[in-house]
Amino acid sequence: MEASTTFKQDLLLREYGRNVQDLVNHILSIEDKAERTRLSYLLINLMAKLNPQLRDTQDFQQKLWNHLYVMSGSKLDVDAPYPLSAMEYLNDKPQRMEYPLSTPRYKHYGQNVELLIQRATELEDEKEREAATISIGKLMKTLYRSYNKDSITDDVILSDIQQISKGKLNLDPSMIESNSLFESVSSKSQDSGSSRPQQQQQQNRGGDKRSHKNTRTTSNQRNK
């Protein structure tokens, strides 16, 4: 059974080009089988250079010969090192992709956060479990801020952690809030950086008032 010629050309000539197809047609026109075989080997070397990505695949030489056989319209009669097959190549199906069957409950956190929380619940050491919960809380707060511009409190983060972990991960909310444990280093530096200009402005304003007072006193002394 042969495949459609137009289908074969549309599929393969994009890879090897019209010139390779013309060479295949020339080989088919040669009556001597030994000469056809010699030219076919030379053409296979050329096809390997034109399609180098096949070198990374398994049995790439056999695939090249199958490509040549397909471009010949399944008419190539040579002493090939492999059994030639056209339909086996054309009917190759891509590997089946695995898609996740479950969607995360909180899309703004993602599936990986739920996996991290699941791993944290499996930790036996309390200190390690607490440190892992704090790190996950920082990540969740960062992800929420990137997903939504509205601010989120530590109580909401803790509540989400408890729901995802089914109550296995618990922390003291007052300890988290007082020590800002869910705040990342970058957010802390931004907050401190934003407060510094305000302090400098206040200091400059105070300095301006002092300078105004000094100028007033000096002007009054001169008038006296």
Based on the fold, state whether residues 20 and 83 are members of the same structural domain.
Answer: yes
Q: Residue 111: what pLDDT?
A: 84
pLDDT at 196: 52
pTM: 0.43
Q: Distance between CA 165 and CA 174 in Å, rounded? A: 20
Count of domains observed in the chain: 2
Q: Are 50 and 17 in contact (CB under 8 A)?
A: yes
Please report whether residue 212 resides in a domain. Answer: no
- Cα 201 to Cα 189: distance, rounded to the nearest angstrom: 19
Question: What is the pLDDT tens value at each position of the chain, 224 positions in all?
Answer: 344 444 444 445 466 778 888 888 899 999 999 999 999 999 999 988 888 887 777 788 888 888 888 888 888 899 999 888 776 555 556 677 777 667 777 778 888 898 999 999 999 898 999 999 999 999 998 888 887 767 788 888 899 999 999 889 988 888 888 888 888 765 555 555 554 555 555 555 555 544 444 545 444 444 44
User: Which tokens hold the place of 183?
Assistant: 């705040």
Domain that holds residue 36: 5-90
Instruction: Please say whether the beta carbons of 13 and 70 come within 8 A.
Output: no
64 and 110 housed in the same domain: no
Q: Would you say residue 106 lies in a domain?
A: yes
Q: With respect to residue 191, please indicate whether it lies within any of the assigned structural domains.
A: no
Q: For residues 139 and 182, what is the distance between their CA atoms, to the nearest angstrom? A: 8
Residue 211 has what pLDDT? 47
Q: Six-digit token pair at 85?
A: 């097959």
What φ, ψ does residue 110 adopt, rounded to 5°?
A: 95, 170
